[in-house]
Amino acid sequence: MTVLRTLERPRRRRAQLNWLFTALPAFPLVLLVLRLWYLSRQDLPTMLLLVQYVSPLGMISALVITLIWIVPAVVLVLRMLGGILLVSTPDAGEAARRSLLALTALRMPDWVVLLAVALAGFTWQMRMLPTLLMLVVAILGLTAVQRHPHERRMLVVVTLVVPIAIGALELLWLRPGIRAALTAGDTGTAVLLLAPPLLGWLLTGPVPPRAARLATHWPAVGAALVAPFVIGVVFLRAPVLPNSAVEVRAGNEPMRVLRGQLINVDDTATTILGRGGDVVFVPNDQVRSKTLCPEPVRTQHSRITVRGWPVDESALEWVAPTRPVADVDPRCLGRPLHP
């Protein structure tokens, strides 16, 4: 009976993996449909019109740009939690057979972790980079414990000396930002800058075997339950259609400006989705001019900087060129270009 149960567990786990791999491709599709449903203000005919004209490539691009930071977060957290479970269990093979988290960490290639670290370094906000370094230090220490369990001196260096030294250098470099955050009363930013350098060395070694599953599986389950809601909320606010302003005049009527999101332009009419969710079809002979309106400037949640680097900007946003702020087109404000 014991042998049958032992053989049955891998079968159940493979069946669970098959269901998981089947459901994963459907999640982006559900996000795209929900985005159109949200954009149409829950009106089914409007949503069907958007499905007809909105480019799938444009929506996928918006999905990738908006949620690209999620991928390295999932990879690094899974690798760290699975590594803790592997080194905390006397038999790593048995842990991999019993736990999907440990199996994922055991089979994850090193190059995947390196790509995730590089992607996170470019796409995570500056305030999250200390957390990234904490994850990197923890993964390095856990990997060393897992692959070289008998090299005592090397393990002391990798799991204690290196994390403490990196944490000290982080605190030295982040000191102006930590001081500014505490002065401004921004407790969240201060914790994100201060806690990871202090806690990195605690995550590089095993935990008691009885507490290993509790310390790894429950955080992973909680993150898996919360992540879809966070991803959905973030993506539902991502733009998928260009904001435009169109000057319209019918006969001798005064000039008026229609503002909204441009859906389509064909031989007869220009289709615009208004801000209230109403669809307007404007005959092309009534269109006098059109302009593309920029997205509203993202307000900074924090004015705190670390040596000139705003804490709410990623390295890619800080380094990449941006369009210079010019005068706002009056049509984007709802006024005719030439009153």
Q: How far is it, in rounded angstroms, from Cα 194 to Cα 192?
A: 6
pLDDT of residue 315: 78
Structure tokens given for 26: 């459907």
Q: How far is it, in rounded angstroms, from Cα 252 to Cα 235?
A: 43
Residues 6+ apart with CB under 8 A from 163: 137, 138, 141, 200, 201, 204
Between β-strands 269-274 and 279-283, what pairing exists: parallel, antiparallel or unpaired? antiparallel
- Is the pLDDT assigned to residue 1 strictly greater than 50? no
Q: Which of 122, 124, 23 is nearest to 73 (CA)?
A: 124
Band of pLDDT at residue 4, cut at 50, 70 and 90? very low
pLDDT of residue 95: 65
The tens digit of pLDDT for each residue in 93-102 reads: 666 677 778 7
The tens digit of pLDDT for each residue in 112-148 reads: 999 999 999 988 888 899 999 999 999 998 888 888 8
Q: How far is it, in rounded angstroms, from Cα 106 to Cα 168?
A: 30
Q: How far is it, in rounded angstroms, from Cα 64 to Cα 66?
A: 6
**Class of the domain covering 243-333:** mainly beta
Domain extents in the chain: 2-236, 243-333
The tens digit of pLDDT for each residue in 14-42 reads: 555 566 666 666 777 777 788 888 888 88
- Is the pLDDT assigned to residue 322 strictly greater than 80? no
Q: How far is it, in rounded angstroms, from Cα 88 to Cα 143?
A: 12
Buried (b) or exposed (e) across 265-287, using 16+ Cβ within 10 A?
beeebbbbbeeeeebeebeeebb
pLDDT of residue 169: 92
Q: How far is it, in rounded angstroms, from Cα 77 to Cα 135?
A: 7
- Is the pLDDT assigned to residue 258 strictly greater than 90? no
pLDDT of residue 302: 60
Give the highest mean pLDDT range of 65-69, 199-203, 296-300.
199-203
Strand order of the sheet with strand 287-292?
Answer: 279-283, 269-274, 256-265, 243-248, 287-292
The pTM of this model reads 0.77
Counting beta carbons within 10 angstroms of the beta carbon of residue 306, is it exposed (0 to 12), middle (13 to 18) or buried (19 or more)?
buried
The tens digit of pLDDT for each residue in 163-187 reads: 899 989 989 998 888 888 888 888 8
- Is the pLDDT assigned to residue 272 strictly greater than 80? yes
The tens digit of pLDDT for each residue in 79-92 reads: 998 888 888 887 76
- Is the pLDDT assigned to residue 6 strictly greater than 50? no
pLDDT of residue 12: 59
Q: Which of 156, 240, 155, 162 is nearest to 197 (CA)?
A: 162
Share of the chain above pLDDT 70, in %: 85
pLDDT of residue 116: 93
Q: How far is it, in rounded angstroms, from Cα 297 to Cα 52?
A: 30
- In this structure, the dihedral spanned by the alpha carbons of residues 209, 210, 212 and 215, taken in order and rounded to 10 degrees, is -150
CA distances 91 to 86, 94, 96, 102, 161, Å, are: 8, 5, 9, 11, 27
- Is the pLDDT assigned to residue 241 strictly greater than 50? yes
- Is the pLDDT assigned to residue 11 strictly greater than 60? no
Indicate the average pLDDT of the chain.
80
